Amino acid sequence: MRQRRLGAQGPVVSALGLGCMGMSTSYGVPDDVESLRTLDRAVELGVTLLDTADAYGRGANEEFLGRWLGGQPAAVRDGLVVSTKFGLRHDAATGRVNAVDTSAAWVRAACHASLRRLGTDRIDLYYMHRRDPAVPIEETVGALAELVAEGSVRHLGLSEVSPQTLRRAHAVHPISAVQLEHSLFTRDVLAGDMLATCRELGIGVVAYSPLGRGMLTGALTSLDDLTADDARRRWPRFADENLAHNLALVRAVRAVAESLGCTPAQAVLAWLLAQGEDIVPIPGTKRRAYLEENAAAADLVLSPEQADRIRAAVPDGAVAGERYPLAALARLGH
């Protein structure tokens, strides 16, 4: 697997990482046995960036990843960049996210809770998952810098913040990466100021949901393909009034991919990789077959003409529906 550096002073990681959330929550029924085999296979393929968060299953995904990490030789653990996130808090009764806490006290408490669940002595890349605009970013990053100084955290990241917040944060302590939803279906990163700001400051971009939460793989044909408790049933792009429209776009992507001799997932991941050496997609999966399919995209080098054809399959503004429900949208871009 080819490698890329996250930020001017950040870690070197595989060109494609692995999102681990779906191994424990949100996307259908967990399969621990297959998920563990998928993690093993990721190491064999040279995937070194593993992504989780304390919000995924209210700590369950960190615990799952921690059990796997505990069974790995020191040399394997040392070769991995394990990233997690803090900041989202849950309602005890419903289990749904109901608050954002980025106070200095919560930074420390959340970090040490994540370290316990992961069973590790350091978090290689620690993100603020969302920002509470009532808390100065200088307070949050100042607390994170203390964790770096004590060795609990190696590198810092932010997720879904504004360019202004990123500048203020980076002035307190170097930020290695910004995690943003970035895919053929969500191209805000290319249209706004964030990518230019990241490049000016020497900060990498980690692209989450690069396959449009699975829709861009072409495997989804209707809502019947999702389990009753799949979180995507609550998201606008999967709603009945939007899904048929968006699946027509996916069919256009498939036609281009077939002409290139690859799968839709490989085409859109290769397109993302072609947007710059500072972009690292983290497609999530709990299946070895999908992991292997995704990893092969790192070897698919597109010509500018081929990249343009992939982008043209999904015209600007063509995707129907917001990328998040309204409550989640309100937590973005602070």
- List residues with catalytic annotation: 56
Tokens 């053929």, located at residue: 184
Q: What length is written for the chain?
A: 334
Q: 58's torsion region: left (phi>0), alpha (psi -120 to 50) or beta?
A: left
CB-based contact 50:280 (threshold 8 Å): no
Contact between residue 81 and residue 3 where contact means Cβ atoms under 8 Å apart: no
Helix (H, G, I), strand (E, B) or coil at 138: helix
Strand locations in 243-330 (E): 279-281
Q: What 8-state DSSP symbol labels residue 311?
A: H
Q: Which residues pair with 83 in a beta bridge?
A: 51, 125
The CA distance from 220 to 322, in Å, is: 18
10: nearest Cα among 108, 146, 148, 104: 148
Q: How far apart, in whole angstroms, are the C-alpha atoms of residue 331 and residue 49?
A: 25
**Nearest Cα to Cα of residue 261 among 222, 295, 300:** 300
Distance of CA 39 to the CA centre of its chain: 16
Three-state DSSP state, 182: coil
Are the beta carbons of 198 and 8 closer than 8 angstroms?
no
Instruction: Identify the residue whose tokens are 């009753």.
Output: 228
280 DSSP β-pair partners? 206
The DSSP line for 8-60 is SSS-EEESS-EE-GGGTSSSSS--HHHHHHHHHHHHHHT--EEE--TTTTTTH
